[in-house]
Structure 1
Amino acid sequence: MEEIKIVNGILVTSQGKTRGGLTIGGGKISGLGDDARLSRARKEIDARGCFILPGIIDPHTHLGRDKEELFRTQCRSESISAALGGITTMMTTARFGNPTEARLAAYRKAKEIGRSFSFIDFKFNAFMTNQKHLDEIDALMEEGVSSFKLMMAYTREEAKQIGLEGIDWGYAYKLFERISRLGPPAMAQIHCEEPEIIHLLRNQLMEKGRADIAAWTESRPSLCETMQLCDAAVLAQALKTPLYIVHISAKESVEALRFFKGKNPAIYGETCPHYLTLQRNPACGILAKVNPPLRDLPDQDRIWAGLGEGTLDTVGSDHVVYLREDKEKGIWKAPAGFGAIGATLPLLVSEGIHKGRLTWEQLVRATSENVAKIFQLFPRKGCLQIGSDADIIIVDPEREWILGTETLQSSADFSVYEGKRVKGKVVNTFVRGNLIVDEGRLIAEKAIGEYAGTRG
């Protein structure tokens, strides 16, 4: 007899939808298909009127910033917010300690913390800023860290603000070359924004006395993102390096990515929910300061289309917890970013599926299957297959609710989506067969997260 049986739902994969259900045993999907053919189970869940999806894998979060204690508390708080939003695995980084020193010990410590405090599975991406970081790539790979990120946009004061060292294309060349020699699952990641133009425009706007949220967008125009995307794509193609480009925000960047995908199948693009749903001059003002900045309706339309056609591969939240007091420092000094990890699925369902911009199959492809394949977790995760981890969510597509700090349950004390009504809500979340969210409420009493590295 199986442990759990889910019946009367609509199973969704990237290939299509079918009526039926599944069974769970030993933390894995043990049966799949027509309800009448499923084995008996000790517990049965009726998913009538709901969709059964593989759990979301969020490829892009920032927990704890530069403090170990903050990393510990956010492993708990943000994994709960994630689980309520249907996320069963999140990828983050460990920046606590001295980020300019070797990072192996920090990632080992972060693994211990994650296993003790996270309610969902997790995996790490590593920031790369100096030779010490390059020297420990092999050791990090053995720990299951396989993606290595360059923050090209951060130089001068912006780099100091987040505790990183500014880097150049010579360093990027060395990293890409090293990753190419290592082979899969090693992969480069890059935040694309050209810093020198940003520095020039920022100073010009500051001299004019501009301090509004729209000035932030004007200081970081689309061309800065697209220029660096093209540079990175050319380098990756020349060195045969798998490349993952984070948080694409501009229509020109989508077109550039489409061009380079025609030449290099190992280049991948990610966007974020805020580039699909928010524009410059949002009602929440400076709270929505983010890098790259919010843009305009034509950018949104092209990003939705890029997601549907497959030019954009994934959706990541770029979740980072800041408080209102952090954002009160003014547009030029306030930190960039905000928390919204639990809003990804409801926004994609409400603004994408219900408005005809996205299908359920495309949603599964962008939030689960593609992420698992790109980060070498497939088919253990990211799909509904017999033998895969029972990372499963049940979604009521018609349930309406309000996004905000109270409902998202992050440790952030504001939400850029405060008061937004959405249609589509996670009813149940399973992580490796463990039911941790039931009827939209956390029922797990303790953390069950495990490291989802390809090794280690």
Structure 2
Amino acid sequence: MYDIEIIGARIVTSSAEFTGCISIEDGKIAAISEKPLRNSKQTIDASGLHALPGMVEQHVHFMDPGENDREDFIHGSSAAATAGVTTVIEHTHSHPVRTVDDLLEKRSYLKNRSLIDFGLGAHVWPGYFDELTGLWENGISFFKAFTCTTHGIPGLRNSDIFEAFQKISSAGGVVLAHCEDESMTERNEHNLKLMERMDGHVIQEWRSKEAEEVAVSDVVLLAKLTGAKVTIAHVSHPFVVDIVHRGREMGADVMAEVCPQYMFLDEYQIQDRGPFGKFTPPARSAPEAKRMMELLASGSIDILSSDHAPSTRHHKLEGNIWSCHFGLPGVETTLPLMLTAVNRGEISLQTVVKAYSETPARRLGLFPRKGSLRVGADADIVLVDLTKKWTISDDNVVSKAGWSPYSGMECTGKPETTMVRGQIVVQGGKVVAEPGTGRYVSSVISDNPHSRV
């Protein structure tokens, strides 16, 4: 007898959509059938709902440990779960993982703090390159590399990147690269401060498109030269996607990641928001935002993530536009926004599943245990109501941020039930499980450790 059977759902994978039933046993998908098997302890009637594999969110900052007054794993993982995310990969700038000891300490600390499964990213940090291989062997999910100093994380020179990429490539690791050329952002900052600019419009000029383009070009070439697997984080405009594709044509193993803020926000919408519009790379023009959605829909952009980097209103209002925190909350709105785009005919639900679940799981060596609906996979499942109309509101934010950059936006489509390894953690859009449900995951302990793409 199975533990749970989900009946009558519209099952969606990256390549198929059909009405059927999913039976779960011991936290795994045990059977997928056209008709109910009627052989389970619990039955969930999902008629009228779509069943998707749980989202694999590869880019969040839960600030835990480090800046728990901005966010923590309890709130962050709960926010993620309400939005259909069942696995997150987290890295924190204020308390970076640079050594194996850092990793083991953080894993121990987080043992009972996550509602959903989680992995951790490490930082590529000057002076710690000898730790890279050991970090990979001990289960880090990826290495975060910055080309410019951000959040107190030192920017890497090309010689540093070349050395680090060589070591990571030899170990079989994966890089997530934040790409903005530091010499250009420093010059822009210097000139803007000479003009005593303090308005929100400075962000687009400070963190310019050109700075992103130059850094991405360098990183893509370094990936080609070293053989490193590199994902370009939070790509903000179409020309950068072109650079990534040119790199692939050269033989570089590079992918592009996009976030909702580069498709649902534009530079004119955020320029008057002051610190609440400060994130980097910043939003670009409305036509570029529209094009980014088209590129994701066509498969030209590989991975969708939130880059959830929250601050409370109090933190955002500290200091001025130059000194306040970068970043936006976003993990609990990413899937709802994409469901809305599906309803508007801008992207298919299968493409959303591929970009936000299957491809990140593959890239991080977690597929097919994560990112799939198939027999033997973890029963990480989200049931969504594609017809539900609702409005994003600051009043309903689960994250410690307490606000959303999309507040007031009308959505169609909402996650209703989220299951992690067969355990219901969200029901009716509300958290119903306790922190500690989540387990640590990595390719080292994957069922298929050679499944990275």
**Which piece of structure 1 moves more, 215-224 or 45-54?**
215-224
Amino acid aligned to 1:10: R
Deviations 1:260-290, CA, capped at 9 Å, x for gaps: 2233362111010111101113264430210
CA distance in 2 between partners of 1:360 and 1:69 (Å): 35
- Residues in 2 aligned to 1:112 and 1:70: alpha-carbon distance in whole angstroms: 20
Which residue number in structure 2 is paired with residue 260 of structure 1? 247
Which residue of structure 2 lines up, in the alignment, with residue 171 of structure 1?
A: 160
Pairing 1:66-85 to 2, within 5 Å after superposition: 67=66, 74-85=72-83
- State which drifts further: 401-410 or 172-181: 401-410
Matched residue SS, 2:231: strand
Q: In structure 1, what is the Cα distance between the partners aligned to 2:252 and 2:352? A: 21
The answer for the alignment partner of 1:34 in structure 2 is 34
Shift of residue 330 of structure 1? 1.8
- Structure 2 residue runs of 5 or longer lacking an equivalent are 446-453
Match of 1:325 in 2: 314
Matches within 5 A, 1:394-409: 394-409=383-398
Shift, 1:398, TM fit = 0.8
**Is 2:177 aligned against 1:190?**
yes
Q: Classify 1:443/1:309 alpha carbon distance in 2 versus 1 (closer, same or farther; 3 Å).
A: same
* Structure 2 match to 1:53: 52
How big is the shift at 1:195? 1.4
Cα pair 1:11 1:53 within 8 Å, conserved? yes
Q: Identify the match of residue 135 of structure 1 among 93, 105, 130.
A: 130
| CA–CA separation in structure 2 for the residues paired with 1:365 and 1:91 | 17
> Which range moves more in the overlay, 197-206 or 280-289?
280-289
CA offsets, 1:166-202, max 9 Å, x none? Answer: 321111000111122222xx11221011111112122
2:119 counterpart (119, 123, 132): 123
TM-score by length of 2: 0.93
Moved over 6 A (4+): none
- How far residue 214 of structure 1 moved from its aligned partner, in angstroms, is 2.1
CA distance in 2, matches of 1:188, 1:70: 28
Contact 2:89 2:141 (C-alpha < 8 Å) held by counterparts: no
1:242 paired with 2:262, answer no
Q: TM-score, normalised by structure 1?
A: 0.93
Q: CA deviation at 1:75?
A: 0.8
Offset of residue 22 of structure 1: 0.5
Q: Describe the shift of the 1:6–1:139 C-alpha distance in structure 2 as closer, same or farther (beyond 3 A).
A: same
Whether contact under 8 Å (1:322, 1:412) holds in the other structure is: yes
**What whole-Å deviation, never above 9, does each CA across 1:137-175 have from its counterpart, x for those lacking one?**
222123210411111121xxxx5xx33333211110001
Displacement of 1:10 after TM fit?
0.6
Separation in structure 2 between the aligned mates of residue 300 and residue 262 of structure 1, nearest angstrom: 25
In structure 2, give the amino acid aligned to 1:104: V
Instruction: Report the Cα distance in structure 1 between the residues aligned to 2:68 and 2:191, rounded to whole angstroms.
Output: 39
**Residue equivalent to 1:25:** 25
Q: Distance in 2 between matches of 1:219 and 1:361?
A: 37
Residue 384 of structure 1 corresponds to: 373
SS at match of 1:145: coil
Question: In structure 2, what is the equivalent of residue 104 of structure 1?
Answer: 100
CA contact (8 A) 1:94 1:107 kept: no
Conservation of the 8 A alpha-carbon contact between 1:65 and 1:95: no
Question: Does the aligned pair in 2 maintain the 1:245–1:268 contact within 8 Å?
Answer: yes
In structure 1, which of residues 317, 321, 343 is the aligned counterpart of residue 333 of structure 2? 343
Aligned residue in 2 for 1:230: 217
Distance in 2 (alpha carbons) for counterparts of 1:30 and 1:440: 26
- Which deviations, in whole Å up to 9, do the C-alpha atoms of 1:350-393 show, x marking residues without a partner? 1x212211101100000000010011100010000100000000
Paired residue secondary structure (2:10): strand
The code of the aligned residue for 1:179 comes to I
Amino acid at match of 1:263: M
Cα gap change, 1:322 to 1:269, in 2 (>3 Å): same
The offset of 1:407, in angstroms, is 2.0
**CA displacement 1:25-53 (0-9 Å, x = unmatched):** 100001113024x3511111111111100
Partners of 1:270 and 1:189 in 2: CA distance: 9
Number of matched pairs: 442
SS at match of 1:320: coil
Are 1:4 and 2:4 an aligned pair?
yes
Once residues 111 and 438 of structure 2 are traced to their aligned partners in structure 1, the CA distance between those partners, rounded to angstroms, is: 5
**2:307 & 2:7 partners in 1: Cα distance?**
34
CA contact (8 A) 1:213 1:280 kept: no
SS at match of 2:335: helix
**Distance change (3 Å), C-alpha of 1:123 and 1:29:** same
Partners in 1 of 2:94 and 2:327 — Cα distance? 18
Contact 2:369 2:378 in 1 (8 A): yes
The alignment partner of 1:362 has SS state of helix
Q: Determine if contact 1:404/1:419 at 8 Å carries over to the other structure.
A: yes
Residues 229/65 of structure 1: CA separation in 2 closer, same or farther (3 Å cut): farther
- Pick one of 140, 148, 151 that aligns with 2:143: 148
What is the CA–CA distance in structure 2 between the aligned matches of 1:90 and 1:114, rounded to whole Å? 13
The root-mean-square deviation of aligned C-alpha atoms, in Å, is: 1.8
Farther-moved stretch of structure 1 (57-66 vs 305-314)? 57-66
User: Which whole-Å CA distance do the structure 2 matches of 1:417 and 1:7 have between them?
Assistant: 34
Distance 2:176 2:94 in 1: 20
Q: 1:65 to 1:251 in 2, by over 3 A?
A: farther
> In the TM superposition, what are the counterparts of 1:205-220 in structure 2 within 5 Å?
205-220=192-207
- Assess, with a 3 A threshold, how the Cα gap between structure 1 residues 66 and 3 changes in structure 2: closer, same or farther: closer
Letter in 2 for 1:343: T
Contact 1:25/1:433, CA 8 A, preserved across alignment: yes
Determine which structure has the larger helix proportion and give its number.
1
Residues 79-118 of structure 1, C-alpha deviation per residue, up to 9 Å, x if partnerless? 0010001000011114455x5x953222212212322110
Pairwise CA distance, 1:9: 1.1
Mapped partners of 2:324, 2:266: distance in 1? 19
Q: Distance in 1 between matches of 2:444 and 2:360?
A: 17
Cα distance in 2 for residues equivalent to 1:27 and 1:201: 52
Give 1:404 shift.
Answer: 2.6
Counterpart secondary structure, 2:112: helix
User: Which SS does the other structure have where 1:372 is aligned?
Assistant: helix
Could you tell me how far apart the structure 2 residues matched to 1:376 and 1:200 are?
39
